[in-house]
Amino acid sequence: MVNTALVTGASSGIGAELARLHAAKGGDLVLVARREDALNALKSELENAYGIKATVITADLAQADAAEKIFAATEAAGIQIDILINNAGFGGHGKFHERDLAKDQAMMQVNMVSLVNITHLSLQGMVSRNSGKILHVASTAGFLPGPLQAVYYATKAFVVSFSQAIAQELSDTNVTSTALCPGAVATGFVAAGDLDGTSMWDNAASPKFVAKCGYEAMMKGELVKINEASLSFMLNWVVPFLPRKTVLNISQQTMEKSN
What amino acid positions are annotated as catalytic residues? 152
For 23-82, what is the HEC assignment?
HHCCCEEEEEECCHHHHHHHHHHHHHHHCCCEEEEECCCCCCCHHHHHHHHHHHCCCCCC
SS3 178: strand
Share in percent of the chain as helix, strand, coil (round to 5)? 55, 15, 30
CA distance 165 to 66: 24
Strands (DSSP E) contained in the chain are: 4-8, 28-33, 54-58, 83-86, 132-137, 175-180, 224-225
Angle, helix 150-169 to helix 114-129, in steps of 10 degrees = 10
Residue 38 CA, distance from chain mean position: 18
Which amino acid type is present at position 232?
S
Cβ–Cβ < 8 Å for 81, 4: yes
